[in-house]
């Protein structure tokens, strides 16, 4: 089994690490789908307020690609459709019934799943409105189902701060995962690549090309794994899918039902008892952090602290997020902070400018720790990007909107999540990941 | 200190958009963020940020320069005492030196702050901390006998032409401190060419610098020439430990070496530039030594380890060549950039008859070529990627 060793990167020592031994159930009476979670999609509603829904009923479709629809994660009534500026659909809220019925699709035995053809698998996934679990590289958007991917990549480990441990999540789901892998392997003429850590529970999975990876974050990012296993060439498309969603697809084929549950982590310095929760897609965040916060003045993030979305308690978990992080919004202003020799107890830096002797965890806040300045390239980005990419030059070519140069410098292999650590460490407080996304949008508009 | 913070925040509305004092906002912002660490919050992902910022980077470089200042002050006093034939204690030397260099520092910072604030107000950007490092470096590169009016003009030139006309810190091509030094070098050559030693002493008291002795004597071995100087101790150890006349901050190489190690350990400067620079210096000095027997130029016979401690090479390499903005921006580029700084220093020192010291010109020249080096590094990276795509 090939092994990849990542040297560049960093594992953040952030406090509020969730306890992986207990998985709490979640109790809530509503669910919501946020169409803004899906990049480059023009949603067109298929339901209106008051409509009855089952689990798996289509909620809306993509105007650009009408075959791709979104499934309702709950059974009940459409309570509310929230529009934003210029009538953008921001939120579809569902009131849940006591009994949760699903739409029934065809169930298969394990053998039948292995014998399905690619067209059948794609057709059943589209019919169940679950195609949106796939995303493609380049651009990290929902793919066009008519173009078969070169390969499919699954990252079998999370290295992001406070993320869910895939080993714990997958322990009881191996059969469903295997069924899911068997089904989606029909969608590509290439390989399904699964990358795990050494001695993972997933190493028994068959029908995949298994790789192991070790090293600090972002080793668990699928983009980094693609770069090291089989890099993208211009014109090629690969699909990626989260392992928990492979389980969802596996269950769909095995039982004929859409099971929108996933295990997420709720953690961060401002959470009283950080732990795992079993939730459905679109769960209201309030139901997870209710009574569980250390203070009122906090920032709630759907996703992890490096890449997540700014959310509020009234908000819902995003479709592609598997964690909720809460950090404090209280910022202490130190007197002559720039001259303070820097107690490592309160300050955290990847450059050894604050002497740190202990291995303890840090209570990060939403402070930017400085003001934005012009870039002074002291190599902070290069040290954290385990790719053969020159981040500084790529950044400048994006600012110059020089699309040819961007392509030459390898932007198609990049995604903003891989550059999040660069933004974190940048002494000039430059939003590198935001600029990378800007470049990808420019390129996407061009092709 | 809460009362001060309260007061500062209370007067803040006077500087906001639309108020009478809005044009002074950059000055207000600088005062607020220097006195109290910033309270700016992240707006989007990543929601947490590293504690390091540009203020911190710049202030740390300034802190590592403090030992150079202290030794510089003592040495100024010491050289003055020798010139006058006096016996003076360490404290006495320090006091005399401080009296000489404090006005130099003051004039530099006044000139620097004036231009930085003026440009910040006119161009409506924040006051950049970079000028602190520039202004801390300029006095160290100056002879203690520099007339203050020349210093004021040179600092203004360095800040305005070297930095501000390009848009400020992060956008300049040439190191502003060296631009200031270069300005003085060519504008007032009688004072600063480096042929004669710089010290604060009686009128008419002078002598040749370590570099100008082999430069002006033909057909000799440089080390023997230096050993024969009676006026100053030009042995290797004394050149390294800095008890010689020179610019204020560059004489003690041990202090500079320690500063370089600290800055490299904190990852604020690139070890690649330093490694490249020292290798370039050794390589070119060795080549010079090979040619020396066939030439009447005594400079060629200077051994590499003498080049390392003579003149301002160590200081220039540590604090000027490693400046991240004006140097190469790629890792491999930094190695080459440093290497050529070393090579050019020896070439200018040995072969150019006009200037005994070459490090300033070498760094400025390489500043100009840094982008070219990066261009080739990027080209190689692109070609490698294209070859991969073609597989």
Q: Is the pLDDT of residue B200 over 80?
A: no
User: What distance in Å separates the CA atoms of residue A214 and residue A211, rounded to the nearest whole number?
Assistant: 10
Q: Which of A334, A351, A369 sits opposite B36 (nearest CB)?
A: A334
Closest C-alpha to A206, from A243, A175, A164:
A175
Residue B138 neighbours by CB under 8 Å, 6+ apart: B108, B112, B151, B154, B155, B158, B177, B180, B181
Average pLDDT over residues A329-340: 75
From B202's Cα to the closest Cα of chain A, the distance in A is: 40
Q: Which residue segments constitute the domains of chain A, with CATH numbers given?
A: 1-27+107-331 (no CATH), 30-96 (2.40.50), 382-446 (no CATH)
Confidence of residue A340 (pLDDT cuts 50, 70, 90): low
Q: How many CA atoms lie within 13 A of A316 on its CB side?
A: 26
User: In angstroms, what CA-CA distances link A66 with A126, A252, A301, B320?
Assistant: 11, 22, 31, 60
Q: Are A22 and A165 in contact (CB under 8 A)?
A: no
Question: Are residues B50 and A426, on separate chains, in Cβ contact within 8 Å?
Answer: yes
Q: Does B37 touch chain A (CB under 8 A)?
A: yes
Question: Are residues A366 and B169, on separate chains, in Cβ contact within 8 Å?
Answer: no
Closest C-alpha to B158, from B176, B174, B170, B146:
B176
Question: Are residues A420 and B167, on separate chains, in Cβ contact within 8 Å?
Answer: no
Residue B158 neighbours by CB under 8 Å, 6+ apart: B134, B138, B176, B177, B178, B179, B180, B181, B183
Residue B296 neighbours by CB under 8 Å, 6+ apart: B218, B219
Q: Is the pLDDT of residue A36 over 80?
A: yes
Q: How many CA atoms lie within 13 A of B227 on its CB side?
A: 6
Describe the crossing of helices B359-390 and B331-351 by its angle, rounded to 10 degrees: 150
User: In angstroms, what CA-CA distances link B40 with A233, B29, B32?
Assistant: 40, 12, 12
Q: Does B332 touch chain A (CB under 8 A)?
A: no
Report chain B residues whose CB lies below 8 A from the CB of A234: 389
Q: Does B12 touch chain A (CB under 8 A)?
A: no
Q: Which of A234, A371, A382 sits opposite B38 (nearest CB)?
A: A371
Closest-approach residue (CA) in chain A for B273:
A378
Q: pLDDT tens digits, residue range A196-213? A: 999 899 999 989 999 999
What part of B 47-76 touches A (C-beta under 8 Å)?
47-57, 59-60
User: What distance in Å separates the CA atoms of residue A76 and residue A30, rounded to the nearest whole number?
Assistant: 9
Query: According to the model, what pLDDT value does residue A157 have?
Result: 92
Q: Which residue has the higher pLDDT, B352 or B282?
A: B282
Residue B247 neighbours by CB under 8 Å, 6+ apart: B140, B141, B142, B143, B198, B312, B315
Query: According to the model, what pLDDT value does residue A359 have?
Result: 72
Question: Are residues A353 and B128, on separate chains, in Cβ contact within 8 Å?
Answer: no
Name the β-bridge partners of A19.
A275
Q: Does B384 touch chain A (CB under 8 A)?
A: yes
Q: How many CA atoms lie within 13 A of A178 on its CB side?
A: 16
Q: Are A338 and A175 in contact (CB under 8 A)?
A: no
Q: Which of B53, B329, B381 sits opposite A429 (nearest CB)?
A: B53
User: In angstroms, what CA-CA distances link B152 with A147, A157, B139, B161?
Assistant: 68, 60, 11, 14
How many residues make up chain B in this entry? 391
Report chain A residues whose CB lies below 8 A from the CB of B168: 374
Q: Which of A339, A350, A382 sits opposite B331 (nearest CB)?
A: A382
Structure tokens at A414: 């990049």
Q: Is the pLDDT of residue A171 over 70?
A: yes
Structure tokens at B266: 């904190």
Q: Is A236 helix (H, G, I), strand (E, B) or coil?
A: coil
Report chain A residues whose CB lies below 8 A from the CB of B381: 388, 390, 393, 409
Q: Which of B37, B130, B168 sits opposite A334 (nearest CB)?
A: B37
Q: How many CA atoms lie within 13 A of B68 on its CB side?
A: 31
Report chain A residues whose CB lies below 8 A from the CB of B267: 351-352, 378-379, 383
Question: Are residues B378 and A409, on separate chains, in Cβ contact within 8 Å?
Answer: yes
Region of B220 (left: φ > 0; alpha: ψ -120 to 50; beta: rest) is beta
Burial track B130-161 (b if 16+ CB lie within 10 A, e otherwise): bbbbbbbbbbbbbbbbbeeebbebbbbbbbbb
Query: According to the model, what pLDDT value does residue A338 have?
Result: 67
User: What distance in Å separates the CA atoms of residue A258 and residue A61, rounded to the nearest whole number?
Assistant: 18
Average pLDDT over residues B227-240: 83
Q: pLDDT tens digits, residue range A374-419? A: 888 888 899 999 999 999 999 999 999 999 999 999 999 999 999 9
From A351's Cα to the closest Cα of chain B, the distance in A is: 6
Structure tokens at B182: 């270069």
Q: How many CA atoms lie within 13 A of A305 on its CB side?
A: 34
Structure tokens at A149: 């991917």
Cα maximum dimension of chain A: 69
Closest C-alpha to B263, from B127, B59, B70, B73:
B59
Average pLDDT over residues A300-317: 90
Closest-approach residue (CA) in chain B for A367:
B41
What part of B 115-174 touches A (C-beta under 8 Å)?
126, 128-130, 167-171
Confidence of residue B70 (pLDDT cuts 50, 70, 90): very high
Q: How many CA atoms lie within 13 A of A34 on its CB side?
A: 20
Report chain A residues whose CB lies below 8 A from the CB of B39: 331, 333, 367
Q: Is A432 helix (H, G, I), strand (E, B) or coil?
A: helix
Tell me the percentage of chain A whose pLDDT exceeds 90.
Answer: 58
Question: Are residues A367 and B268, on separate chains, in Cβ contact within 8 Å?
Answer: no
Q: Which of B56, B123, B170 best tests the A interface by mutation, with the highest count of A CBs <10 A? A: B56
From B25's Cα to the closest Cα of chain A, the distance in A is: 15
Q: pLDDT tens digits, residue range B160-174? A: 998 888 888 888 899
How many residues make up chain A in this entry? 447
Confidence of residue B247 (pLDDT cuts 50, 70, 90): confident
Q: Is the pLDDT of residue A296 over 70?
A: yes
User: In angstroms, what CA-CA distances link A150 with A3, A147, A247?
Assistant: 22, 9, 22
Residue A110 neighbours by CB under 8 Å, 6+ apart: A175, A179, A182, A254
User: What distance in Å separates the CA atoms of residue A208 and residue A210, rounded to the nearest whole number?
Assistant: 6
Question: Are residues B128 and A373, on separate chains, in Cβ contact within 8 Å?
Answer: yes
Question: Are residues A352 and B128, on separate chains, in Cβ contact within 8 Å?
Answer: no
Kindly state the DSSP code that residue B45 receives in the 8-state scheme. Answer: S
Confidence of residue B185 (pLDDT cuts 50, 70, 90): confident
Query: According to the model, what pLDDT value does residue A314 have?
Result: 86
User: What distance in Å separates the CA atoms of residue B138 and residue B177, rounded to the nearest whole number?
Assistant: 5
Region of A86 (left: φ > 0; alpha: ψ -120 to 50; beta: rest) is left
Count A/B contacts: CB-CB distance under 8 Å: 209
Report chain A residues whose CB lies below 8 A from the CB of B38: 333, 337, 367-371
Question: Are residues A425 and B331, on separate chains, in Cβ contact within 8 Å?
Answer: no
Query: According to the model, what pLDDT value does residue B365 have?
Result: 94
User: What distance in Å separates the CA atoms of residue B183 and residue B141, rounded to the nearest whole number?
Assistant: 12
From B152's Cα to the closest Cα of chain A, the distance in A is: 27
* Max mean pLDDT range (A427-431, B80-84, B162-166, B280-284): B280-284
Burial track B313-322 (b if 16+ CB lie within 10 A, e otherwise): bbbbbbbbbb
Q: Which of B33, B57, B388 sits opposite A371 (nearest CB)?
A: B33
Strands A89-96, A76-83: pairing is antiparallel
Structure tokens at B167: 């848009």
DSSP class per residue in B17-40: TTSGGGGGHHHHHHHHHHHB----
Q: Is the pLDDT of residue A24 over 90?
A: no
Burial track B89-126 (b if 16+ CB lie within 10 A, e otherwise): eeeebbebbbebbeebbebbbebbbebbbebbeeeeeb
Q: Which of B45, B269, B329, B334 best tests the A interface by mutation, with the highest count of A CBs <10 A? A: B45
Report chain B residues whose CB lies below 8 A from the CB of A140: none
Query: According to the model, what pLDDT value does residue A343 have?
Result: 56
Average pLDDT over residues B355-364: 86
Closest C-alpha to B314, from B195, B140, B191, B190:
B140
Q: Is the pLDDT of residue B105 over 60?
A: yes
Report chain A residues whose CB lies below 8 A from the CB of B389: 233-234
Average pLDDT over residues A321-332: 89
Distance of CA A117 to the CA centre of its chain: 29
Question: Are residues A410 and B385, on separate chains, in Cβ contact within 8 Å?
Answer: yes
Structure tokens at A320: 């592609």
Q: Which of B170, B266, B325 sits opposite A352 (nearest CB)?
A: B266
Q: Is A93 helix (H, G, I), strand (E, B) or coil?
A: strand
Question: Are residues B128 and A427, on separate chains, in Cβ contact within 8 Å?
Answer: no
Confidence of residue A345 (pLDDT cuts 50, 70, 90): low
Closest C-alpha to A210, from A223, A197, A227:
A197
User: What distance in Å separates the CA atoms of residue A19 and residue A28, rounded to the nearest whole number?
Assistant: 22
Q: Which of B39, B50, B324 sits opposite A376 (nearest CB)?
A: B324
Distance of CA A371 to the CA centre of its chain: 28
Q: Which of B36, B49, B54 sits opposite A335 (nearest CB)?
A: B36
Q: pLDDT tens digits, residue range A45-59? A: 999 888 898 999 999
Q: Which of A305, A333, A410 sits opposite B47 (nearest CB)?
A: A305
Closest-approach residue (CA) in chain B for A404:
B382
Question: Are residues B49 and A370, on separate chains, in Cβ contact within 8 Å?
Answer: yes
Residue A234 neighbours by CB under 8 Å, 6+ apart: A407, A412, B389
Q: Is the pLDDT of residue A341 over 60?
A: no
Question: Are residues B55 and A338, on separate chains, in Cβ contact within 8 Å?
Answer: yes
Q: Is the pLDDT of residue A133 over 80?
A: yes
Confidence of residue A20 (pLDDT cuts 50, 70, 90): confident
Question: Are residues A305 and B330, on separate chains, in Cβ contact within 8 Å?
Answer: no
Q: pLDDT tens digits, residue range A55-86? A: 999 999 999 889 999 999 999 999 889 998 88
């Amino acid at each position: 089994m090939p092994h990849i060793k990542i040297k560049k990167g960093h594992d953040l020592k952030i406090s509020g690490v969730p306890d992986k031994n207990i998985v709490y159930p979640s109790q809530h009476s509503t669910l919501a789908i946020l169409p803004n979670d899906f990049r480059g999609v023009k949603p067109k509603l298929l339901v209106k307020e008051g409509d009855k829904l089952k689990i798996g009923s289509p909620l809306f479709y993509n105007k650009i690609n009408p075959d791709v629809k979104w499934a309702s994660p709950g059974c009940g009534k459409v309570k509310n459709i929230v529009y934003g500026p210029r009538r953008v659909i921001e939120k579809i809220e569902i009131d849940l019934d006591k009994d949760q019925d699903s739409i029934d699709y065809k169930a298969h035995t394990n053998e039948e799943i292995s014998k399905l053809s690619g067209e059948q698998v794609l057709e059943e996934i589209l019919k169940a409105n679950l195609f949106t679990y796939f995303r493609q590289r380049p651009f990290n958007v929902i793919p066009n189902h008519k173009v078969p991917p070169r390969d499919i990549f699954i990252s079998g480990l999370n290295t992001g701060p406070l993320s869910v441990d895939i080993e714990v999540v997958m322990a009881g789901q191996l059969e469903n995962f295997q069924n899911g892998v068997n089904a989606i392997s029909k969608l590509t003429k290439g390989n399904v690549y699964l990358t795990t850590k050494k001695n993972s529970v997933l190493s028994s999975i068959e029908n995949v090309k298994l790789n192991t990876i070790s090293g600090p974050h972002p080793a668990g990012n699928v983009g980094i794994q693609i770069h090291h296993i089989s890099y993208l060439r211009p014109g090629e498309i690969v699909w990626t899918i989260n392992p928990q969603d492979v389980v969802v697809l596996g269950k769909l084929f095995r039982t004929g039902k859409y099971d929108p549950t996933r295990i997420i982590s709720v953690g961060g310095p401002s959470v009283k008892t950080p732990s795992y929760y079993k939730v459905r897609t679109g769960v209201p965040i309030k139901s997870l952090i209710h009574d569980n916060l250390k203070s009122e003045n906090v920032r709630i993030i759907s996703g992890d602290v490096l890449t997540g979305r700014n959310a509020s308690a009234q908000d819902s978990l995003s479709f592609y997020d598997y964690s909720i992080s809460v950090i404090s919004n209280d910022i202490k202003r130190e007197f002559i902070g720039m001259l303070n020799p820097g107690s490592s107890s309160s300050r955290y830096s990847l450059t050894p400018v604050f002497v740190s002797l202990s291995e303890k965890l840090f209570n990060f806040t939403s402070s930017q720790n400085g003001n934005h300045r012009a870039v002074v390239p002291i190599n902070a980005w290069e040290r954290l990007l385990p790719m053969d990419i020159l981040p500084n030059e790529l950044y400048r070519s994006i600012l110059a909107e020089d699309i040819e140069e961007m392509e030459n410098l390898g932007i198609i292999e990049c995604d903003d999540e891989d550059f999040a650590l660069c933004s974190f460490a940048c002494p000039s407080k430059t939003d590198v990941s935001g600029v990378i996304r800007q470049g990808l949008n420019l390129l996407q508009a061009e092709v | 200190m809460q009362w001060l913070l309260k007061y500062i925040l209370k007067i803040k509305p006077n500087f906001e958009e639309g108020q009478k004092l809005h044009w002074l906002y950059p000055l207000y912002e600088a005062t607020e963020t220097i006195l109290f660490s910033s309270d700016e919050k992240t707006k989007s992902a990543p929601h947490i940020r590293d504690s390091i910022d540009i203020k911190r980077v710049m202030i740390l470089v300034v802190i590592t320069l403090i030992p150079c200042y202290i030794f510089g002050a003592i040495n100024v006093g010491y050289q003055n005492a020798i010139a006058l034939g006096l016996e003076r204690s360490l404290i006495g030397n320090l006091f005399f030196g401080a009296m000489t260099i404090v006005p130099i520092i003051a004039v530099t910072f006044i000139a620097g702050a004036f231009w930085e604030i003026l440009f910040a107000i006119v161009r409506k950007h924040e006051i950049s901390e970079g000028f602190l490092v520039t202004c801390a470096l300029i006095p160290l590169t100056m002879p203690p006998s520099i007339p203050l009016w020349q210093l004021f003009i040179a600092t203004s030139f360095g800040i305005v032409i070297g930095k501000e006309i390009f848009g400020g810190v992060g956008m300049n091509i040439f190191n502003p401190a060296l631009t200031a030094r270069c300005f003085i070098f060519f504008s007032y050559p009688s004072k600063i060419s480096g042929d004669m030693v710089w010290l604060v002493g009686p009128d008419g008291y002078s002598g040749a610098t370590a570099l100008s002795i082999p430069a002006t004597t033909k057909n000799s071995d440089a080390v023997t020439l230096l050993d024969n100087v009676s006026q100053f101790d030009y042995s290797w150890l004394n050149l390294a430990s800095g008890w010689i006349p020179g610019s204020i901050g560059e004489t003690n190489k041990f202090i500079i070496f320690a500063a370089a190690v600290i800055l490299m350990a904190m990852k604020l400067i690139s070890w690649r530039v330093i490694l490249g620079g020292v290798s370039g210096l050794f390589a070119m000095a060795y080549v010079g030594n090979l040619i020396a027997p066939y030439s009447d130029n005594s400079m060629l016979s200077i051994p590499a380890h003498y080049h390392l401690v003579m003149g301002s090479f160590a200081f220039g390499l540590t604090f000027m060549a490693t400046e991240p903005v004006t140097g190469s921006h790629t890792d491999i580029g930094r190695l080459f950039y440093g290497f050529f700084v070393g090579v050019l220093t020896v070439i200018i020192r040995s072969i150019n008859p006009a200037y005994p010291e070459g490090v300033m010109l070498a760094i400025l020249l390489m500043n100009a070529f840094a982008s070219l080096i990066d261009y080739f590094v990027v080209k190689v990276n692109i070609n490698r990627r294209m070859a991969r795509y073609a597989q």
